[in-house]
Structure 1
Amino acid sequence: MSNPASRLATALIAFVAALSVVLRVYIVVGGVMAEGRSFLDGLVLVFSYFTIQTNAIVAAVAAACALSGRHDSFLTRPQTLAAVTVYIVIVGVIHAVLLAGLRQLSGLAVVVDIGLHRVVPALFTLYWLAFVPKGRLAWRDPLSWLIFPALYVAYSLIYGALSGRYLYPFANVPVLGYPRALGNAGLILLAFYILGLAIVTLDRIWPRQSLSGV
């Protein structure tokens, strides 16, 4: 059963996430090209960040929910929405705890940074709490949700080794060495798993009838 409030919420989230991603692409690619590097180099760089990948996923998932108003396809089913909630919450938490203040931003970049790391995580979490049907998750689900972040860890290390650019300070192999960088990655993956278990716990104790009416 479709709920206008749910569809409006997801339409707003899709718009904010997509706009934030597009503006970050514009800023990063423009900066890269100003350095004499190619458009493709800038595009690969910006989409190599977990933040951008996750916000792009949020935009796609939220758009699918807004268009269908149902929770019976891969992009809109409760398991997918819960996984995306875990990913985007981790984006916000890691930025707040480990990354905030490391770069000096100004102008439009500040607004985009807030959108990617604060507004979208908050909006999508509230959407999950308020509208996504509860009682559909299993305790094994958080393990499958680790596939995406685990693949990202592998990608980021390969990208860093090939390009010489390590995207996050806690994964900077030349500075930290592989043992410490991999240890940090393991701790972050553990955080994904623990948050996933927390999401399943909330799913079990939250009222089964969500505001979506499903």
Structure 2
Amino acid sequence: MTAGRVLRVSTIVVLLVGLALALVAARDEPLELLWYFTIQVDLAYLAVLRLGRADRLRTALTVYLVVTGLVFVLVLANPWSGYSMMATADARGAVSDAGNLLLHVVAPPLAAADWLSHRPRPAPPRRYPVTLLAYPLAWLTAILVRGAGSDQAQERYLYPFVDVPRLGYPTVVVNALAFATLVLLLGLAAARLSRPAPAARLP
């Protein structure tokens, strides 16, 4: 088995185990998992790997996976960020922690390494990084509409940085713009890395 094959199989196994642990941790409300950005991206990524080459979609999902990893490490698992979820009711214990570790800390670097070893050819167009904002924007819109339609006892905003009742819409918009910037920067990096290196000029 080639190194690239080992890397891809490892990524798939990590995602499947992480998703299984997340499902076990959310056994009382398993369908709630489907609303999480991470879970949606992970499932789509597995589907793309299973169905075959779809370079632009694979690139987009890899960017989203890396974003989920960075947001988890820097924001959700960071007690100094102001949006930590580690000490809240959403922290479900050892099983949930193990699932989060696999999905947010282990899987994104593996997916990025797999993408780097199988970069898309030809490179995506220059407008491609901007198109990567479409799905996160659609997800955010759905979450905000869903949350606004729930009562105060059943908040459905999922992540503390989009909790409108606590933060207000101006702060949520600022947070969304920060994450959009991260998506754009990673998209630009992916597009740049997809382009072939310029041929060296002969003296």
Q: Aligned match of 2:67 in 90, 97, 100?
A: 90
Pick one of 48, 57, 64 that aligns with 1:61: 48
Aligned length: 185
Q: Relative to 1, partners in 2 of residues 1:116 and 1:90: Cα closer, same or farther, differing over 3 Å?
A: same
Q: 1:13–1:62: 8 Å Cα contact kept in structure 2?
A: no
Q: Secondary structure at the match of 1:60?
A: helix
**1-side partners of 2:187 and 2:12: how far apart?**
23
In the alignment, which of 79, 96, 110 is matched to residue 97 of structure 2? 110
Cα separation, 2, equivalents of 1:10 and 1:62: 9
| AA in 2 matched with 1:63 | R
Q: In the aligned structure 1, how far is the partner of 2:180 from the partner of 2:96? A: 28
CA distance in 2, matches of 1:148, 1:94: 17
Identity %: 30
1:196 — aligned with what? 187
Distance 2:125 2:2 in 1: 28
Structure 2 unaligned residues grouped into runs of 5+: 79-84, 199-203
1:4 Cα offset (Å): 5.0
- Corresponding position of 1:16: 14
Instruction: Tell me what 2:128 maps to.
Output: 141
Residue pair 1:50, 1:152 contacting (<8 A) in 2 also: yes
Write the distance in 1 (CA, Å) between the matches of 2:180 and 2:137: 7
> What is the aligned partner in structure 2 of residue 129 from structure 1?
116
Question: Is the 8 Å Cα contact of residues 92 and 118 (structure 1) preserved in structure 2?
Answer: yes
What is residue 173 of structure 1 aligned with on the other side? Answer: 164
Length-normalised TM-score, structure 1: 0.77
- Cα–Cα, structure 1 residues 206 and 53, in superposed 2: closer, same or farther, change >3 Å? farther
User: Residue 44 of structure 1: CA displacement?
Assistant: 3.2
What is the aligned counterpart of 1:183 among 153, 170, 174?
174
What is the deviation of 1:183?
2.1
Q: Deviations over 1:58-111 (max 9, x none)?
A: 22122234xxxxxxxxxx222111111110000000111110053155422222
CA distance in 2, matches of 1:44, 1:162: 18
Amino acid at match of 1:9: L
Q: CA deviation at 1:146?
A: 1.4
Give the secondary-structure state (helix, strand or coil) at the position aligned to 1:47: helix
Counterparts of 2:133 and 2:115, CA distance in 1: 19
> Which residues of structure 1 form unaligned runs of 5+?
34-41, 66-75, 208-214
> Is the partner of 1:103 in helix, strand or coil?
coil
Query: How far apart, in 2, do the equivalents of 1:151 and 1:190 lie?
Result: 16
Corresponding letter in the other structure for 1:55 = D
Structure 1 pair 45/206, CA: closer, same or farther in 2 (3 Å)?
farther
Give how far 1:134 is off.
Answer: 4.1
Distance 1:133 1:150 in 2: 24
Q: Is contact 1:14-1:58 (8 Å) kept?
A: no
Post-superposition offset of 1:114 = 0.8
Alpha-carbon offset, residue 123 of structure 1: 0.6
Amino acid of the residue matched to residue 197 of structure 1? L
